[in-house]
Structure 1
Amino acid sequence: MWALIPGSYLRMPALFLSIPRIVVSGTLIALNTVGHATPLLLLALIKFLVPIAGFRRLMSRILVRIAESWIAVNSWLMCTFGRTEIHVDGLENLQRNGWYLVICNHQSWVDIPVLQQVFNRRIPFLKFFLKSQLIWVPVLGLAWWALDFPFMKRYSREHLEKNPQLRGKDVEATRKACEKYRDLPVSVMNFVEGTRFTEAKHERQQSPYRHLLHPRAGGIAFVLDAMGDMLNAVVDVTLFYPAGRPGVLDLLAGRVRRVEVRVRAIPIPAELLGGDYENDDVFRRHFQEWLNGLWSRKDEILNRGRLENSSA
């Protein structure tokens, strides 16, 4: 059954040898999650019951500190039991008390713990836009809610055509979510491709990039529209796994030995702020051209990494 896990390069013979490590590391991560989620949820309940703005801001800071401790312990476990080395370039110009939009290519579910380790306590706590259904994930769903992660409903084009009254609801939800972040520094995280890379998806999209799927501009356009006046920069991240795209079991089994991460802080072009992405065709085309330029550069970085790895 392990062969059905997307992106995993763990094979059956290696699986049996790795079971003890998977069990130990998985159990420790679960215990760490319960140990941090319990006080986090209790404090979140107190925050919810006391409708005083200053008190809620204080509680939000405390909740973030608990979450950062949670991530720090998970990262230590990943490096110690998972034997993972993460090589990072480009963190020098970032600060912990700023506001950032973080964008990244999406290779694997392992991307999330890697990004959390790279940025934990270096920039504000990463907050991902999540599908609304994920709030029902045991323990984690409530923890994400407590940390003010934005839960979004996604509507297909066909659904919107049948229900035109829903048009613009995703934009409105983005604005409401981002308004919460004005009083507390935050890093809003977006996987711009919208899904993890696979060769099948790459072929189906007929992507013009060698190692990437098409970037979707709408999500980050809405974030820039809602938060552009307070964002310090766009943080462009490129992830590369020299041994191939791993799955979560590969991480727990200690088979993700090396991850390459390239980070670049990009000033937000003034002409990308204040436009109407949904209704202004010229602005939308200009925004997409800007994002496509970032993706072309990222594709070159990934291509160089693969060439260097193949010749090593």
Structure 2
Amino acid sequence: AFWALDYPFMKRYSKAFLDRNPHLKGKDLEITRQACEKFQGIPVTVVNFLEGTRFTVDKHRNQQSPYRHLLKPKAGGVAFVLAALGDNLDALLDVTILYPEGTPPGFWDLLCGRVSRVVIDVQTRDLDAALWRSDYQEDPVFRAEIQQWVSELWAQKDARLVEMAGADNCAVAQTGEASNE
């Protein structure tokens, strides 16, 4: 659906990969910048998966994530979107998804109706203009502030997953997504 609607897709590269392919450094930010320019002044939803990848127990362990049910979030993408579209954004919709049956299903399982239940929690977060007041790449103080804001958001999301699972009397699925609108 995102492809059909001409949403841009960012490809994140590891530091080691960029060291071998320096011509790709900044490519993801350039794609985001172009998309933000294209969407200026028109109603649009920007979807940003801050974890950048699907949760697995191995990834969680390798990252040494401080969160029980989430991978470490990546703040750079959301900071860049906020800087590019900040004045045009109404709110941030923080979406948390719980799969009560355990492991998140595949897309085909969802299409085939093999998933009996999904619990979705949506929180509207106010956007303070301070969130786009500076350049994430060039301002280390601002970068630390954005990273702290995202870390606090993620800690709340991790706690919310535990609450949702308790209310549903099920195990917490290993997932979490956030989106901007």
TM-score (norm: length of structure 2): 0.83
| TM-superposition CA deviations, 1:164-188 (whole Å, max 9, x none) | 5554343232111111112420001
Matched, 1:299 2:158: yes
Q: Quick check: 187-196 or 242-251, which moved more?
A: 242-251
**For the structure 1 residues 299 and 183, does the alpha-carbon distance in structure 2 shift closer, same or farther, using more than 3 Å as the test?**
same
Within a 5 Å distance, the mapping from 1:164-175 to structure 2 comes to 164=22, 166-175=24-33
Structure 1 residue matching 2:123: 3-state secondary structure: strand
Q: Quick check: 262-271 or 288-297, which moved more?
A: 262-271
2:90 is aligned, of 227, 232, 244, to 232
| TM-superposition CA deviations, 1:78-97 (whole Å, max 9, x none) | xxxxxxxxxxxxxxxxxxxx
| TM-superposition CA deviations, 1:35-88 (whole Å, max 9, x none) | xxxxxxxxxxxxxxxxxxxxxxxxxxxxxxxxxxxx7xxxxxxxxxxxxxxxxx
1:218 is aligned, of 72, 76, 91, to 76
Within a 5 Å distance, the mapping from 1:128-139 to structure 2 comes to none
Matched, 1:198 2:56: yes
Tell me the residue number matched to 1:277. Answer: 136
Question: How far, CA to CA, are the matches of 2:12 and 2:51 in structure 1?
Answer: 15
| TM-superposition CA deviations, 1:146-200 (whole Å, max 9, x none) | x331143444323433555554343232111111112420001011101111212
Aligned residues: 170
Question: How far, CA to CA, are the matches of 2:34 and 2:147 in structure 1?
Answer: 24
Matched, 1:189 2:47: yes
Question: How far, CA to CA, are the matches of 1:307 and 1:227 in structure 2?
Answer: 37
TM-score (norm: length of structure 1): 0.50
**For the structure 1 residues 183 and 297, does the alpha-carbon distance in structure 2 shift closer, same or farther, using more than 3 Å as the test?**
same
| TM-superposition CA deviations, 1:258-307 (whole Å, max 9, x none) | 11111111111221113111121111111010011111111111112222
CA deviation after TM superposition for structure 1 residue 250, in Å: 3.1
Question: How far, CA to CA, are the matches of 1:242 and 1:194 in structure 2?
Answer: 22
User: Of the two, which has the highest radius of gyration?
Assistant: 1
Tell me the residue number matched to 1:121. Answer: none
Question: How far, CA to CA, are the matches of 1:208 and 1:167 in structure 2?
Answer: 28
Question: How far, CA to CA, are the matches of 1:238 and 1:298 in structure 2?
Answer: 7
Structure 2 residue matching 1:268: 3-state secondary structure: coil
Unmatched segments (≥5 aa) in structure 1: 1-70, 72-126, 128-140
CA contact (8 A) 2:83 2:133 kept: yes
Structure 1 residue matching 2:97: 3-state secondary structure: strand
2:37 is aligned, of 179, 183, 188, to 179
Aligned sequence identity (%): 54
Within a 5 Å distance, the mapping from 1:29-40 to structure 2 comes to none
Structure 1 residue matching 2:87: 3-state secondary structure: coil
Residue identity in the other structure for 1:178: C
| TM-superposition CA deviations, 1:208-259 (whole Å, max 9, x none) | 1111110110111111111111011111011001111222343244331111
Tell me the residue number matched to 2:148. Answer: 289
**For the structure 1 residues 160 and 199, does the alpha-carbon distance in structure 2 shift closer, same or farther, using more than 3 Å as the test?**
closer
**For the structure 1 residues 194 and 306, does the alpha-carbon distance in structure 2 shift closer, same or farther, using more than 3 Å as the test?**
same
CA contact (8 A) 2:36 2:85 kept: yes
> Which one has a larger percent helix, Structure 1 or Structure 2?
1
Question: How far, CA to CA, are the matches of 1:285 and 1:182 in structure 2?
Answer: 27
